[in-house]
Structure 1
Amino acid sequence: MTTSILLIGNHKLLSTLTEHNASLLSTWVEGESMDEVIQAIKTHLPDVVILENSLLIDQGLCQSVKQKAYGRWIYFLAIKSQKYSSQTHPDLQAYCSEKIHFLAQGVDGYLDIIPPEILSKNQAQAQAQLFLSHLEIGLLWSQKCKTLIQENDYLSTIALCDPLTEIGNRRALDWDLPRQVYNARKHHVPLSIAVVDIDYFKAVNDNYGHLVGDRILQLLITRIKHKLRPLDTIFRYGGEEFVVVFKQANLDQGEVIAQRLRRTVAEQPFLVEPELSLSVTISLGIAELKSDDDPQGRSLLQRADEKLLLAKARGRNQVLR
């Protein structure tokens, strides 16, 4: 697995520390401003950032980057060059206080460096080896984080996906609908939803079996998705019930899309097997977001569901608003 290391600060010092491992040092940025360094991090997406600029740490660079998606796996190693002579030793209390301060600012590792020119050859080599050990730990930590993030993203996808129809499930709807309500209000754009039910679907399962019923669900979703706009999202709400979120669509626009979905399902039978094709219809209830709807979208969903029940009571295969 390839790795990337971004150096920020005293390039000469860091080059001396890695004199025999120059290939480790991927990119050097002599950044002074927060914006410049953050842009470099976004561009190079490093595994490890080595910081020799304590001012950027105090300005919150590490915490700012870690809050972004691209910074979740980055390991920040702070390097502080101390002006000790070969006969003096660091003030332990000051060293600990400074390290605690840096760790509180989001730094993952901290290393106090004595300029190699005042050290003996053996001391300089030992210090360089300590630095490389810190670097190794940072790279290992970063790679493990990347792996965990990938696994978590995969598990999240599974948790939010209906395995049969490969669309979002009810949990995904519960997560997405409040976001859409928030975005619609923030940007002052309309939002409509449709609750969709397959008419007499129980009879399909009773007469042909659940495998045929499952195939109908798959074929129906494939057909519906081809008639949705790129902005629209469909979720499986229950057994044969679905919810479609029409972003940036008012009630009139939502009705136009809903009627298109109804027609595309009803106009052509579904070829389930070479010798079996079944005609299916759907009923839809639609509603538009109102100013007094709750932030989670429950009242919006309830109104659309009530319209669906009315559509079924009035004979099915229709859209009601």
Structure 2
Amino acid sequence: MSNFTLDVGVWIDLLPEPTLVMDLEGNIVAVNSSGREFFGGSVLDCNLRELVATPPEKLKKWLLLWQQATQIVPGTLRDPQDQKIEVEAVGIHRCQPPLILLRVLRQPRFLRQFIIQRQQFQQLQQQMAQQTALIVELQQRQKQLEAENHHLQEISRQDSLTKLANRRAFKACLPIAWRESATTHTPFAIALLDIDHFKCYNDTYGHLAGDRALQRVAHAIKSQVRETDLVARYGGEEFILLLRQTDHDAAICVLERVFKHIRNLGIPHASSPVQPYLTVSAGICIVAASLQDCPMAELVATADAALYAAKHSGRDRYVLQTYPGMSVPISPSQEI
């Protein structure tokens, strides 16, 4: 039984006359104490046709009329002894699907009592309308809060300058990639990229130009990886890539595309001793995960050690290492 039906059950208990709430088929979903006395025992989950002797076709017409009604409609039913039962009913249209509220008039000849009961019924309708409006308002507010919460979560995991994921997002995704690798027995790669001599770039061209360069490099990296891969700004001029289901050869292919794309940007860097344009260095860690917990710090440290080796070897290149294991020697294909 829904909360709405339970609330209706509470309200109709305020009415002194036998009162039922039914669905459009006549199935009784709520009844007040007077109704239980009138019909004898529990009638919940019964159908109205089980309680009255009104012919089914006529009863069906009454139900159709009542469920369409927006104001109280009087009617007559027959009890099992073929005695006339005076009733009035109205459709409850503020719930979906609509319900029917039916009240038995024990003493319709007493006009004053009839008026009082009608007023009580109208008050009940108003309370139901207010309750329904409150429920709708609360549901809308909940959806709004969920949307705001989702937006805040997105902001908390995004770098404001480059619009890439940030370090927090990377740390959240790395254990997932580790578990996937351990389950599927496929390697993945972590690549740590650093813009060469970026401090000199800022000193020469200014920090606004440095911000624009970071944005262009971020876009260049993002454009060369798959949707399922993660590119994050790790801090300052450092970027980190999480390449799912990627082995040694696939990682090299990705890094060569990234290096070529950044080189083709042709961002001038007159103060760089490497090239007259902006370049990057990278360290790659190839990982074959096990069932143990993800050693996050060790994985990043392995990629960072490879990045250090690339810088120490002259920059504008990448170096591969496996985890665990020794670094792979630099080969011509690793220098761009």
- Taking structure 1 as the reference length, the TM-score comes to 0.61
Aligned partner (choices 179, 182, 186) of residue 185 of structure 1: 182
Distance in 2 (CA, whole Å) between partners of 1:266 and 1:259 is 10
Per the alignment, residue 311 of structure 2 pairs with 312
* Cα deviation digits, residues 56-111 of structure 1 (max 9, x gap): xxxxxxxxxxxxxxxxxxxxxxx9613521597xxxxxxxxxxxxxxxxxxxxxxx
Whether 1:164 and 2:161 are equivalent positions in the alignment is yes
Q: Identify which range, 250-259 or 305-314, moves more after superposition.
A: 250-259
Residues in 1 aligned to 2:295 and 2:29: alpha-carbon distance in whole angstroms: 49
- CA drift at 1:131: 2.6
Classify 1:190/1:131 alpha carbon distance in 2 versus 1 (closer, same or farther; 3 Å). Answer: farther
SS in 2 for 1:231: coil
**2:122 paired residue among 96, 100, 125:** 125
Closer, same or farther: CA 124–307 of 1 in aligned 2, 3 Å:
same
* CA spacing shift, 1:29–1:196, aligned 2, 3 Å: farther
What's the secondary structure of 2:241's corresponding residue?
A: strand
How many pairs align?
A: 227
Aligned-partner Cα distance in 2 for 1:179–1:297: 11
User: CA RMSD for the aligned pairs?
Assistant: 3.7
What is the identity, as a one-letter code, of the residue corresponding to 2:168?
R
The correspondence for 2:194, drawn from 184, 194, 197, is 197
Q: Percent identity?
A: 32
Q: What's 1:263 paired with? A: 260
Contact 2:178 2:289 in 1 (8 A): no
Distance in 2 (CA, whole Å) between partners of 1:237 and 1:126 is 62
Q: Does 1:216 align with 2:165?
A: no
1:146 to 134, 143, 148: 143
The answer for the alignment partner of 2:299 in structure 1 is: 300
CA shift digits 1:134-186 (9 cap, x unpaired)? 21111111111111122222222222211111111112212222233233334
Q: Where in structure 1 are there 5+ consecutive unaligned residues?
A: 1-6, 18-27, 31-52, 54-78, 89-112, 273-277
CA distance in 2, matches of 1:182, 1:135: 47
Residues 289-312 of structure 1: CA deviation (Å, up to 9, x unaligned): 233474263322221111111111
**How far is 1:284 from its partner?**
0.9
* Residues 216 and 84 of structure 1: CA distance in aligned 2, closer, same or farther (over 3 Å): same
- Identify the residue that residue 81 of structure 1 maps to in structure 2: 30
5+ unaligned residues in a row in structure 2: which ranges? Answer: 13-22, 38-98, 106-116, 270-275, 321-336
Rounded to whole Å, the distance in 2 between the matches of 1:132 and 1:187 is 55
**Distance apart, 1:188 and its partner CA:** 4.2
The 1:197/1:139 distance shift into structure 2, 3 A limit, reads same
How far apart, CA to CA, are the structure 2 residues paired with 1:86 and 1:29? 19
Q: 1:203 to 1:141 in 2, by over 3 A?
A: same
TM-score by length of 2: 0.58
Contact 2:179 2:289 (C-alpha < 8 Å) held by counterparts: no
The answer (yes or no) to whether the contact 1:83–1:114 under 8 Å persists in 2 is: no
CA distance in 2, matches of 1:221, 1:228: 11
